[in-house]
Amino acid sequence: MYQSLLTRRYLTSKLMPLLAALAVMLCSAMVLITWSIMGGFLVKFLDVGRNTDGDVIISWPTAGFAHYEELITMLEKDPMVQAAAPCIESWGMLALPDDRLVVVKIRGIDGRYASVSGFRDSLWWRPIDEPLPKDAERLDPRLTNHRLFEQTLADGLALKKKDPETGRLEPAVILGIEAAGFSRRMEAGYYEIPPTSILARPSKGDMESGRRLSPFICDHSVVINVLPLTSGGRDIKVASRKLPVANEFRTGVFEADQKSVLMDLGELQRMLKLDRGEALGVRGSNPYELGAENGREQAARREVVGAAEARVTNIFVKGKGGAEGDINALRDRCESVYRQFEARFKGQVPTPDAMERAKGIGTWEQNYAMFIGAVKKEIAMVLGLLMFISFVAVFLVLAIFWAMVSEKTKDVGILRAIGASRAGIAWLWLRYGMALGVVGTILGLAASFLIVRNINPIHEWLGRAFGVVIWDPRVYYFTELPNQVETHKAAIVAAGGLVFSVLGALIPALRAATYDPVKSLRFE
């Protein structure tokens, strides 16, 4: 009974102990804010990756592998597989209408890509009914002229655009929304076109009064340059194709939105010479021959030696259910299906052993294991340092409680004289330390929640007021900071704050419990 009474009295009448609660609050807030933002970065990166590449990826870079349609059919017959889609990935050069050249990652896809990814939702230029949260004035051009944006959405999904002269559908490209610099992101989160960026004349009726629409609505194209390679690395020659822009996509990962281009799978196959056609090779085992004129050794002339099947570099697989625990099982099943596939086309596709050595079948997380592992280690190191710094709260509580025990020596003597046990005296101070820990932890969690949920407005205000840009998307990948506090993280931080408070009060509590009541009563 007396512990509860004295704890309330000390909490409401003493100022110094509240400094200990303030220390616990600051330490808890510091750890939880850092953990939420850094951990949120990793969670967001993993979610975007799965939403872009599916659950499992079967890949054989550069050269690609043939008979992929048969492999997709075999995969989709498996009860664990929901869908599979072919893809080609290659690096290339994007030539923009203003003569800029940009190195980009080109991905060739077809209509099946939407079934294994969030491709449809990533297309930015499409009709919307509700404005973005910060677009209070409804300035987003997508809110109006739905008919026009329905067409751009259809063009993006089909990866084709109608030629204004012939009326035929032609292969088109979809640019990452940061790749060309046509679309400028406004403070409210929507994109608009600066007047200086309009590089081509808009079609009649495509411009509203006083508002400019997206660049692909204008009549302009970009040039894609790729470097096709034979399996032996010979016959290198740049392939170029001028293609119209059908839409733009936004994943939220700045790196992908700035350096990625999507285009029609068949068109990229033709440009990289991965389409079905004649197979060129050198008859015999010697890849070199003597020149007829100079007698020097040179590459042998290549000739048609057979038919070549169309190839892709990747197959994206999406599992049923999407449960995270089933992804590894899905990968194992894909490996089993691939072994059956290789047995059927033996000698024409990479062997399972070669796939295993090249890590050609893996989950998205496994394919980026080095980057993800580095981020996890960095998070663990930063949290370790912050936890070590948080021990300041322990020593601050210890110092304050040590002084209070010395000040309340006579009170302790009175309590002992009227029958309080040593354990009761120790529990009084431990209870007091725990109460301060509860107050500090609750305040710290509340501050963390408010700061993390409003971290993007705070960051924008710092940029406007002081020119401080802490979160540069070119460095940290994402255009916005993660702003979610996970329950289990808050619970761990709260438990840590309570433990630190009790540890700080432990030594002073034991000291008070060992006081001699007679000497304590005579204390001045």
pLDDT of amino acid 200: 42
The amino acid that residue 413 corresponds to is: G
Query: What residue spans define the domains of the chain?
Result: 2-46+374-521, 89-288+299-313
Rounded to two decimals, what is the model's pTM?
Answer: 0.72
Q: What is the DSSP string of 67-89?
A: -HHHHHHHHHTSTTEEEEEEEEE
Q: What percent of the chain has pLDDT over 90?
A: 24
* Residue 214 near residue 125, CB atoms below 8 Å: yes
pLDDT tops 90 at residue 340: yes
- Helix/strand/coil percent split, the chain, to 5: 50, 20, 30
Which of 233 and 334 is assigned the larger pLDDT? 334
pLDDT tops 70 at residue 523: no
Is beta strand 239-249 parallel, antiparallel or unpaired with respect to 173-176?
parallel
Query: What does the mean pLDDT of the chain come to?
Result: 79
pLDDT band at 463 (very low <50, low <70, confident <90, very high): confident
Q: What percent of the chain has pLDDT over 70?
A: 78
Which of 387 and 31 is assigned the larger pLDDT? 31
**415 to 15, 328, 520: CA distances (angstroms):** 23, 63, 10
pLDDT band at 313 (very low <50, low <70, confident <90, very high): very high
* Residue 508 near residue 402, CB atoms below 8 Å: yes
pLDDT of amino acid 78: 92
pLDDT tops 60 at residue 215: no
**Who's near 131: CB < 8 A, 6+ residues apart?**
138, 140, 143, 190
pLDDT of amino acid 175: 92
Q: And the tokens for 128?
A: 């919307």
Long-range contacts of the stretch 93-100 (C-beta < 8 A, 24+) = 93/224, 93/225, 93/226, 94/175, 94/179, 94/180, 94/222, 94/223, 94/224, 94/225, 94/261, 95/222, 95/223, 95/224, 95/225, 96/180, 96/222, 97/199, 97/200, 97/220, 97/221, 97/222, 98/199
**Who's near 32: CB < 8 A, 6+ residues apart?**
444, 445, 448, 452, 485, 489, 490, 493
Which of 491 and 322 is assigned the larger pLDDT? 491
Classify residue 94 as exposed, middle or buried by CB count within 10 Å of its CB (0-12, 13-18, 19+).
Answer: buried
Name the helix (H) or strand (E) containing 194: none
pLDDT band at 289 (very low <50, low <70, confident <90, very high): low
The 10s digit of each residue's pLDDT in 59-103 is 998 888 999 999 999 999 999 999 999 999 999 999 988 888 999
Classify residue 321 as exposed, middle or buried by CB count within 10 Å of its CB (0-12, 13-18, 19+).
Answer: exposed
CA distance 314 to 55: 13
pLDDT of amino acid 273: 87
The 10s digit of each residue's pLDDT in 260-276 is 999 999 999 999 988 87
The 10s digit of each residue's pLDDT in 120-176 is 999 998 899 898 877 888 888 888 878 888 888 999 999 998 877 777 888 999 999
Least confident piece of the model among 191-195, 386-390, 452-456, 461-465: 191-195
pLDDT of amino acid 198: 39
Q: And the tokens for 445?
A: 């969690």
Sign of CA dihedral 61, 66, 68, 69: positive
The 10s digit of each residue's pLDDT in 116-131 is 988 999 999 889 989 8
CA distance 344 to 340: 6
Is beta strand 288-290 parallel, antiparallel or unpaired with respect to 297-299?
antiparallel
The 10s digit of each residue's pLDDT in 344-381 is 999 889 999 999 888 899 887 777 777 777 778 888 88
Three-state DSSP state, 486: coil
Ramachandran region, residue 284 (left: φ > 0; alpha: ψ -120 to 50; beta: rest):
left
In this prediction, residues 412-439 reach a mean pLDDT of 77
Q: Crossing angle, helix 487-513 and helix 369-407, to 10 degrees?
A: 30
* Residue 452 near residue 33, CB atoms below 8 Å: yes
The amino acid that residue 228 corresponds to is: P
The 10s digit of each residue's pLDDT in 2-34 is 556 556 555 555 667 778 888 888 888 888 888
Most confident of 119-123, 167-171, 281-285, 414-418: 119-123
Name the helix (H) or strand (E) containing 363: strand 361-363
What residues are paired with 202 via a beta bridge? 218
Q: And the tokens for 87?
A: 């893809």
Is beta strand 101-109 parallel, antiparallel or unpaired with respect to 260-264?
parallel
pLDDT of amino acid 5: 55
CA distance 314 to 17: 62
CA distance 306 to 303: 9
Q: What is the DSSP string of 243-296?
A: EEEEEEE--SBHHHHHSEEEEEHHHHHHHTT-SSEEEEE-SSS-SEEE-TTT--
pLDDT band at 300 (very low <50, low <70, confident <90, very high): low
pLDDT tops 80 at residue 383: yes
In this prediction, residues 415-438 reach a mean pLDDT of 78
In this prediction, residues 245-274 reach a mean pLDDT of 89
In this prediction, residues 281-285 reach a mean pLDDT of 53
